[in-house]
Structure formats: C-alpha cells, structure tokens
Chain A
Amino acid sequence: MKGFFAITRREIAERRLLFAAAAFTSLIPLIAPFVPGNGGASAVDVRGWTALLISFAFAAGISIGLGGTMCAPSIASRRIGFDFARPVSGIAIWGGRMAAAMLLAVATATIVWIPARLAGATLPWKDFLTEREVSLTWPLLALGALVVVFCLLHAVTLALRSRSALTGLDAVLAVAAWLGVSAALSRLPLFMAAVPFQRAAVGFAIAAGAALVAAGYASVAHGRTDIRAAHRALSLVLWTAIGAGVIGVNAYASWVMSAKPADLERDFWASPASAGTWIQVEGWARGARATFLYDTATERFARTPTIDWRGPVISANGSRAAWIQANGGPFPLWTWRLDDPKVEPARTRLLLDGYGSLMELSADGSRLATMEAGLLSIHDLASEKVLVSARLPTRERQSVRGLFIDNDRFRIFRTDEKTFDILELDAPSRTLRSIGRIEGLNGLRFFVADPTGGRIIAVDEPNRRTRLFDGRSGAFLATLGDAPADSRWPRFLSGSRIAVTERSDAGLRLRLYGPDGAALTTIPLPPGRSAVTGGEVAPGQLAVGIGDEGTHYKAWLVDFEAHSVRKVADELWPVRSLWTSPDIGSPATKLFYGPGQRSLVHFDPLTGKRRVLLGTGP
C-alpha cells in the first residue's frame, strides 16, 4: 500500500493548482443571484443550481481529462517507466493514479459546493429523494460513474495512441457488444419483464464498469512501457469480461423468457374459455409477470408476450386464441389454433397501432373485433384482412365493451357513469348504428352481459342497485336487488339463470333469478367477508368461495334444488370471469386457486378429487 499512497499523493500534488481553480470558481455561485436573467428564481435556488453545475463540470471534466491523460500517454511515451523502475506494484501504479483522479474530482466538486452551501444552498432534488438516497446511494452512483468515465477515457486514449489494427477490432467488438446487450434487453420488455430488465441492465452496467477498471489495470500492469502490449492486455480483459457479460445477460434474458407455466409461482390469475380445457393464466415466473395460454388437459402451452392489461383472448368454443404482441409498435396480431395439436402460434399480417381498448373473438374464433383510438374494426383471421372499420365517437372517461352476436355482427356497450349506449357494427352492410340506450343510471360501477348479448346486468348507486336490462334495446327488465348492500356480484349462469351474491347487514346470501329476472330463491351463505361465485359443476350446483376476515377462502357447494350449502374444501376459491359463463360441468367450472393464489388446482367439488395443475398447491 505504500506505493499506492505514494503515487496517489504524488499525482494529486502535481495537480494541486486544480484546488486553487476550484476555490476561485466557488465564488461564482455566490455572485450568480446578482446576475440579471435568473427568471425570478430565488437566490438560494440560483446558488444551488450554479454550484451544482460547476461542481459537476469539475468532477466530470477531471474524470474525462485525467482519464485520457494520466496513464495512456505515459505508457506511449514510456514515461511510466519511472514508476516501473521503482518497487511499486502494477496495481499501485494504476490504482494510485485512478484514486488521485477520483479524489481530485470529488475534492474540487466539494470545494465549489461549500461556499454555496454556507450561503444556504441545498441540493435542488433533496425534496424528491430520501435521506439515504441523498447521503449514500447517489454519491456512490456518482463516484461509480466518475470511475467508469475515467477508465473509459483511458481505454479510448490507449486504443488510439497504440495505433494498432487492434483499435479497429475494438470498434467492431464494441458494436457487437452493444448489439448483443440490446438484443437481450430489448426482448425483455416484450415479455413485460420490467424487473428482470432492470436487473439485467444494472448487472451488465456494473459488469461493464468493473471490466473497464480491470482492463485499465491489466493495460498498466501487463503493458508496462509497451503501448501495444498495454492495448492487447486491455482489449483481452475488456472484451473477455464484456463478452461474458453479454453472454450472461442473454442467458439470463433467455432464462426469463423461456419460463413455462410450471415455473409460475405466485399471484395466479386465470381466465378459462367457456368451453374446452384452455385457459389464459398468468402469474410471476422467474422474476417477471408471465402470461400463458395453457391446456389444462394436455399441458400444451404458449407464452404470449403481451402487456399485462391486454392479454390473449380465447374464443367461447375454446378453439382459437389471439393476442397482440407487445413491442414498440406497430403491434402484430398473433393467432393460434388451439384445437389442432400440430399447429403452432402464427403471426398474422395484421398490425395494430395500439394495444386497443377492446379485443374480442367471435364464438368460433374466426373473427376478431378490436378498437383502438376510436376505430372499431372486425378482422377476418383466415384471410388476415380487415372486414370493416368504423369510427366510434368517444367521450371522456368512457369504457367500451362488446361481443359478437354472430360472426357478422358486433354489439358494443359504451358507458360512462351515467350513460349507457348500445351500438352494433354490421360487417356485410358496413354500418355502425345505435340500437339502444339504458336510461336512468346513477354512478355505474360495472355491468355484465350474457354470452349472447341479449341481457345486461348493471350495478350502480345507490346501494349497489342491480338491475336487468334488455341487451339490444336497453329496456329495463327487472330489479335484482336494490336494498342496501355492501356488495352485489351478479353472474349469468350457463343455463340462463342469474346468480347474485350479496353482502349486507343480514350477512352473505346468494340469490337466484330466472332468465327474465324473476326471483327464484335466496340461499343464506355461511358467514364471511366476501363471496365469489364459480361455475355450475353440475345442473343446479354452484361452486362458491367464501373468504374470512383474513385471506383464507373456503370452497362451498350451493345446491339450488336442495336449498343447501356444504363446505367442500379449505383454502380453495373458484376461478371466475364475469364475462364468461362456463358450460355446466365443464373443466372451467372446476378450476380453483390454491392458498394465497400460489397455485391453480383442478378440483371436483362433487367427488372431492383435486390435482394441482400449476404452482405449489395444497
């Protein structure tokens, strides 16, 4: 260490005039408030910004200037031989110089800052950062950046001064490294892997910075007074380390992106098709939110690189899926024939300008409706063509949902808190027309339509009022509940009946209505905080999840005919989707989330048989 400190001290002593320059310059922030043209900023702010700017200029300038002049020219001129002729190690020669540069950068920046601070200036962003960030994180990051800049300038100067063909190779490798890292990092956002992206980017930045420091050391310690040997040592260490970093980042990205449904471990969310065994399932896998199309019967799957709020859609018959690939735009549309095991997902020629505010498949999956920037379109997936597009006038805070009535007609429900318009786009006639309207809504909370579009249930205020309307004209049909209640969750059952779970002072209850909204029966449910309705596992037998005050759910089976409720499982709650009504007894009615939503379980409430499909289940 004697050599390290001796060289550090010597290098600083040689440049001691920088301290005087910093001290002189530190007066500028004090007089800056008196210079006209401050735009009305306070004197404290002007001092702060000016001092910060000059401090940054000193720190950056010294790192850049000394990075380019401290070592490489000494090697080129063999002047560094003065140090190598002493009993001083290579690491002390390199480290001592670098430490001197950093100390000079930090010390001069501090000298500039001190008078302004004494005059009351504070860091302009102090209000936006935590104390730890101000005192530790950002100073360390700034120091790291100064070190990297110093080493980068050393590397560049050395490469240029060596005048060897290796400089050309350096340039090629730099471009290759950039492309290699970009290839990895640009793929991760497509998979919504924000955390892995951050990890990979930060990890590579640290590795590249460390590589630059190590390469600088190698160039001095192994090149000594031979500039070309120094360049060779620098390039060897730098590109070996950077190459390893590029491979590492790509391997990590590939590992993240190659996650399978079996890798899902928490925060499961599933949406089954009305028929068949396919589901859309998402959760956290390998540090990223991952979305899959997954066949619960055969375990076939495809990962869909979609954004979190516009996942893939599955046709009601479970034969076709479609999704919009997340990228920088335009956004390609992908489809997948789910009913043919030999067919792989295919990218269509259809490109969308955005992720769309609406995306629905027709029942047989042959047509797709999308709406983006107010343009409603129906696409024919077989021909990969847009059949019809229409501009839908939009209003603020409106939401649009819709469904195919048949392959040619798409019904749109356009709502805001008080209005509810029903429109229909007809593909053969290429017309968009208003066909109905629901009047008298007050603070609409949500609505749900049955799979045919023939009926609508709207829940609004007051009291979570729940009413049934005609899905075409918007005519009022029946009130499903208007007494005070904390919550009401309606659901169209596949047999056209309607189930509404209700929580009020009277406790949890399940009310059953006929297709026209006529009350059929009310079944008290066991005590609990909330109730979730699943599907009909058998005619007249509905799975219901009831949660307690904590996060635990129990699965119950409600028998409409016997007017009974019985517990069928602990720690399970049914997968539900407001807008789908799984066929009675279909696999979708037997999908449950496991404890803590850490698994997806196939559970038959009638037999009690359960099988963990994904995740770590009970």
Chain B
Amino acid sequence: MTEPIRIEGLTVRYGRSTACRDVSLCVAPGSVYALLGRNGAGKSSLVRCLLGEQKPSAGRTLLFGADAWATRKAAMARIGIVPEEPDAPPGMTARELSDFCRRIYPRWDAAAVMARLQRFGVPPKTPFGRLSKGQKGEVMLALALGHAPEALILDDPTLGLDVVARSALYEEIVGELADRGTTVFVTTHDLAGFEGIVTRVGILKEGKLILDEEMEALKARFRRIRYANRLTDTRTAFGTELDAFHAERVRVRGWGIEAIVSNFDDAVFERFRAIDGVDDASAEAVPLEEIFLAVAGEEKGAGQ
C-alpha cells in the first residue's frame, strides 16, 4: 500500500538561510506521526511543501505516491488540513464555508460538519472573522474532516487554544482514528496532548531531522535515572558511573543525580545499580515532552 505521506531529501532555502536540510521521512497508513521541533526548526516550511503550497529547493514531498507540488489538486481531495493560523474568508460564516466546500469536494458531508460545529459550540451564522481563535480552529477542523479524508495534516492545531478547545480537538481526532483509521501528520508543541495517540515521532532541529522513530521504541530506550552518589564527596557530583549510558541530559539535584538516557537497557541498568557507591538508583519512563527537551533542547551531555 502506498504511504499517504513521504518526504524525500527535502531541502527548503530562503535566500542564504536554510529552513530544512535533506529531510526524509515516511508516514504509514493509519499511523499518527508527530513532527516536533522548536520554533524556527522548519516545521511550517516542511508542511507547506507537503501541502504543495511551496516548491522545495531540493527533494520532493509525495502525497499518496504523487508529487505534492505537481499533483496538489488531486491530493487535496483526499486530505484534510488544519493550518497553523486558522484562516478563511472573514466575511463568510461557518455554514457558508461548508457550502463553499460542498461545491468543490466530490464527497462532502455537510450534515456531519454542522454536527461537529454544534458539538464544538461554534455559532454557524457568525462570520469567520468574528469568531474567537479557538472557534476558528474548530471550524477549520470541522472543514478538514468534512470530506472524510484519508489523511489529516495538522500544523500546530492547538496553538492558542484553551483547554476545552484542545480537548475537543483531541476527541475528534481520536474519533477519526477509531472510526476510519485516518492517517494523521501533526506538527505540535502540545506534546502531552498528542502523546497518547502518536505512533511515530520525528524531531526537527535547525532544519535537520535528528530523530524519526516509532513511539514505542522511543519510549523504551529513553529513561530517567535517579541515584545518590557516594563516590564523590558531595554526593551531587558524578564521575564515570554513567559511561555505560548515553546520557542526553544530566542534572544535579539536592538529593543526587538525575539523568535522561537514550539507550536504556535493563541488564546495563542492573550493572549500574551494582556499582559501589551508587545508591537508591531507580529508572522510570520519560514523557514525550522530556524526550523532546533532551533531544532538541540546548542543554546536552554530562556537564554539571
């Protein structure tokens, strides 16, 4: 089966600056891919290329196996999009926007759109320009799902949304996944919100894809290790005992050492615990947000 989304050697340049460098990734059918990155990492440029809105400087983006730039129109009939900035003609109401879409999509479920808007509590007769940011986002999500797309592309959809709006958005996405197995590609800063549904994660840093991995494997190899250290005078310094791990981030706390490691292994951890002077060692799973911070944050390595 053709992957809904595939990116091959994507490079995007703006003059002398490079937003994306040779990025390649693939999103399997029915999966939820979260592309993470700090502001300015190149996520939006990548999404614009993915949507056929911008021509890559090099490489290509494929939607359902076809070049997104060249075959954008055909691909858009199978894709739903929630942009970073929810924007639509400001004078049109949500109902009019739905009517507009009904004329251009081969399959458009206006009733489902209106039902979603009702669930979100969006007034259908208020011009789009007068809606709150959260309501605008909800309108965009309702429109994105109106033609039962095979894939959803969400560009930071929770940006500026309150807790209730975010929650409604997650529910709709989860519902889509449950009902139809829609492929989802999302760029987001709301790592906690998506953590439960993401199946694969990519991290962009300064335009380069520095991580692209299944969520399960990622969570399996990342652990937070805490221990008190009798090997040093202060108990809060550390020496060579962490050498067996690849420590992404090490912090000195009052009670001892805390390290985020990216190559956790039970056997190695047992040997670590057995080191004389390492007391009260424990290992626990790390939330996606911390993995992201460890990988994409500025702080790195075993420095104090």
Q: Please indicate whether A and B come from the same complex rather than being unrelated chains.
A: yes
Residues of A at the B interface (CB closer than 8 Å) are 2-3, 5-6, 9-10, 13-14, 77-79, 81-82, 84-89, 222, 224-226, 229
Chain B residues within an 8 Å CB radius of A77: 87
Chain B residues within an 8 Å CB radius of A82: 83, 87-89
- The reply to whether A224 and B53 form a contact with Cβ atoms under 8 Å apart is yes
Q: Which residue of chain B lies nearest to A77 when distances are taken between CB atoms in the complex?
A: B87
- The reply to whether B52 and A84 form a contact with Cβ atoms under 8 Å apart is yes
- A542, chain B: closest CB distance, angstroms: 82
- The reply to whether B51 and A229 form a contact with Cβ atoms under 8 Å apart is no
Q: Which single member of A5, A6, A81, A87 contacts B73 (CB below 8 Å)?
A: A87
Q: Which residue of chain A lies nearest to B96 when distances are taken between CB atoms in the complex?
A: A13
Q: Which single member of B55, B76, B83, B87 contacts A87 (CB below 8 Å)?
A: B76
- The reply to whether A85 and B103 form a contact with Cβ atoms under 8 Å apart is no
- The reply to whether A229 and B92 form a contact with Cβ atoms under 8 Å apart is no
B40 at the interface (CB under 8 A from A): no
Chain A residues within an 8 Å CB radius of B77: 87
B65 at the interface (CB under 8 A from A): no
Q: What are the 4 A-B residue pairs with the smallest beta carbon separation, nearest first? A: A87-B77, A6-B103, A85-B81, A87-B76
Q: How far is the CA of A88 from the CA of B104 in the complex (A)?
A: 7
Q: Which residue of chain A lies nearest to B74 when distances are taken between CB atoms in the complex?
A: A87
Chain B residues within an 8 Å CB radius of A84: 51-53, 72, 76
Q: How far is the CA of A77 from the CA of B74 in the complex (A)?
A: 24
- The reply to whether B91 and A5 form a contact with Cβ atoms under 8 Å apart is no
Known: A87-B76, A226-B53, A226-B54. A10 touches B89 (CB 8 A): yes
- The reply to whether B76 and A6 form a contact with Cβ atoms under 8 Å apart is no
- A273, chain B: closest CB distance, angstroms: 70
Chain A residues within an 8 Å CB radius of B87: 77-79, 81-82
Task: Pick 27 A–B contacts, CB within 8 A, sort by A.
Answer: A5-B103, A6-B104, A10-B96, A10-B100, A13-B92, A13-B96, A78-B53, A78-B87, A79-B87, A81-B48, A81-B53, A82-B87, A82-B89, A84-B53, A85-B53, A85-B76, A85-B83, A86-B101, A87-B76, A87-B104, A87-B105, A88-B104, A222-B55, A225-B48, A226-B48, A229-B54, A229-B55
- The reply to whether B91 and A225 form a contact with Cβ atoms under 8 Å apart is no
Chain B residues within an 8 Å CB radius of A3: 104
- The reply to whether B72 and A14 form a contact with Cβ atoms under 8 Å apart is no
Chain B residues within an 8 Å CB radius of A222: 55
B85 at the interface (CB under 8 A from A): yes
Q: Quick one: CB contact mask for B52-92 with A, threshold 8 Å, 1 for yes? A: 11110000000000000000111011000101010111011
Q: How far is the CA of A77 from the CA of B84 in the complex (A)?
A: 12
Q: How far is the CA of A77 from the CA of B129 in the complex (A)?
A: 15
Q: How far is the CA of A10 from the CA of B97 in the complex (A)?
A: 9
Q: Which residue of chain B lies nearest to A228 when distances are taken between CB atoms in the complex?
A: B14
Chain A residues within an 8 Å CB radius of B55: 222, 226, 229
- The reply to whether B92 and A86 form a contact with Cβ atoms under 8 Å apart is no
- The reply to whether A14 and B89 form a contact with Cβ atoms under 8 Å apart is yes
Is chain B's binding surface mostly helix, strand, loop or mixed?
loop
Q: How far is the CA of A242 from the CA of B92 in the complex (A)?
A: 38
Q: Which residue of chain B lies nearest to A88 when distances are taken between CB atoms in the complex?
A: B104
- The reply to whether B76 and A10 form a contact with Cβ atoms under 8 Å apart is no
Chain A residues within an 8 Å CB radius of B103: 2, 5-6, 9
- B44, chain A: closest CB distance, angstroms: 10
Chain B residues within an 8 Å CB radius of A81: 48, 51, 53, 83, 87
Q: How far is the CA of A594 from the CA of B72 in the complex (A)?
A: 67
Known: A84-B52, A84-B72. A10 touches B92 (CB 8 A): yes
Chain B residues within an 8 Å CB radius of A87: 73-74, 76-77, 104-105
- The reply to whether A225 and B92 form a contact with Cβ atoms under 8 Å apart is no
- A65, chain B: closest CB distance, angstroms: 15
Q: How far is the CA of A87 from the CA of B100 in the complex (A)?
A: 12
Q: How far is the CA of A224 from the CA of B50 in the complex (A)?
A: 13
Is chain A's binding surface mostly helix, strand, loop or mixed?
helix
Q: Which residue of chain A lies nearest to B44 when distances are taken between CB atoms in the complex?
A: A78
Chain A residues within an 8 Å CB radius of B100: 6, 9-10
Q: Which residue of chain B lies nearest to A15 when distances are taken between CB atoms in the complex?
A: B91
- The reply to whether A78 and B85 form a contact with Cβ atoms under 8 Å apart is yes
Highest count of chain A CB atoms <10 Å: which of B92, B100, B101:
B100
Q: How far is the CA of A89 from the CA of B103 in the complex (A)?
A: 14
Q: How far is the CA of A79 from the CA of B92 in the complex (A)?
A: 14
Q: How far is the CA of A2 from the CA of B103 in the complex (A)?
A: 7
Q: How far is the CA of A6 from the CA of B101 in the complex (A)?
A: 8
Q: Quick one: CB contact mask for B31-51 with A, threshold 8 Å, 1 for yes? A: 000000000000000001001
Q: How far is the CA of A2 from the CA of B105 in the complex (A)?
A: 9
Q: How far is the CA of A78 from the CA of B44 in the complex (A)?
A: 12
Q: How far is the CA of A33 from the CA of B178 in the complex (A)?
A: 72
Q: How far is the CA of A215 from the CA of B166 in the complex (A)?
A: 42
Q: How far is the CA of A229 from the CA of B54 in the complex (A)?
A: 8
Q: How far is the CA of A82 from the CA of B91 in the complex (A)?
A: 14
Chain A residues within an 8 Å CB radius of B101: 86
Q: How far is the CA of A14 from the CA of B88 in the complex (A)?
A: 12
Chain A residues within an 8 Å CB radius of B54: 224-226, 229
Q: Which single member of B51, B74, B91, B92 contacts A85 (CB below 8 Å)?
A: B51
Q: Quick one: CB contact mask for B102-136 with A, threshold 8 Å, 1 for yes? A: 01110000000000000000000000000000000
Q: Quick one: CB contact mask for B265-280 with A, threshold 8 Å, 1 for yes? A: 0000000000000000
Q: Which single member of B48, B76, B92, B105 contacts A14 (CB below 8 Å)?
A: B92
Chain A residues within an 8 Å CB radius of B89: 10, 14, 82
Given A2-B103, A81-B83, 18 new contacts (CB under 8 A): A3-B104, A5-B103, A13-B92, A14-B91, A77-B87, A78-B87, A84-B52, A84-B53, A84-B72, A85-B76, A85-B81, A85-B83, A86-B76, A86-B105, A87-B76, A89-B73, A222-B55, A226-B54
Q: How far is the CA of A84 from the CA of B96 in the complex (A)?
A: 18
Chain A residues within an 8 Å CB radius of B104: 2-3, 6, 86-88
Chain A residues within an 8 Å CB radius of B81: 85
Chain B residues within an 8 Å CB radius of A225: 48, 53-54
- The reply to whether B92 and A88 form a contact with Cβ atoms under 8 Å apart is no
- A216, chain B: closest CB distance, angstroms: 18
Chain B residues within an 8 Å CB radius of A5: 103
- A122, chain B: closest CB distance, angstroms: 37
Q: How far is the CA of A522 from the CA of B72 in the complex (A)?
A: 93
Q: How far is the CA of A77 from the CA of B104 in the complex (A)?
A: 23
Highest count of chain B CB atoms <10 Å: which of A13, A82, A85, A222:
A85
Chain A residues within an 8 Å CB radius of B96: 10, 13
Chain B residues within an 8 Å CB radius of A79: 87
- A415, chain B: closest CB distance, angstroms: 78
Q: Which residue of chain B lies nearest to A6 when distances are taken between CB atoms in the complex?
A: B103
Highest count of chain A CB atoms <10 Å: which of B52, B89, B105:
B89
- A226, chain B: closest CB distance, angstroms: 5
- A414, chain B: closest CB distance, angstroms: 77
Q: How far is the CA of A78 from the CA of B74 in the complex (A)?
A: 21
Q: How far is the CA of A79 from the CA of B55 in the complex (A)?
A: 17
Q: How far is the CA of A245 from the CA of B100 in the complex (A)?
A: 40
- B268, chain A: closest CB distance, angstroms: 48
Chain A residues within an 8 Å CB radius of B52: 84, 224
- B225, chain A: closest CB distance, angstroms: 45
- A309, chain B: closest CB distance, angstroms: 61
Q: How far is the CA of A84 from the CA of B88 in the complex (A)?
A: 11
- B69, chain A: closest CB distance, angstroms: 9
Q: How far is the CA of A88 from the CA of B53 in the complex (A)?
A: 12
Q: Which residue of chain A lies nearest to B88 when distances are taken between CB atoms in the complex?
A: A82
Chain A residues within an 8 Å CB radius of B85: 78
Chain A residues within an 8 Å CB radius of B92: 10, 13-14
Q: Which residue of chain A lies nearest to B14 when distances are taken between CB atoms in the complex?
A: A228
Chain A residues within an 8 Å CB radius of B73: 87-89
Q: How far is the CA of A4 from the CA of B81 in the complex (A)?
A: 21
- A294, chain B: closest CB distance, angstroms: 60
Q: How far is the CA of A10 from the CA of B55 in the complex (A)?
A: 27
- B214, chain A: closest CB distance, angstroms: 29
Q: Which residue of chain B lies nearest to A80 when distances are taken between CB atoms in the complex?
A: B53
Chain A residues within an 8 Å CB radius of B72: 84
- B54, chain A: closest CB distance, angstroms: 5
- B136, chain A: closest CB distance, angstroms: 11
Q: Which residue of chain B lies nearest to A79 when distances are taken between CB atoms in the complex?
A: B87
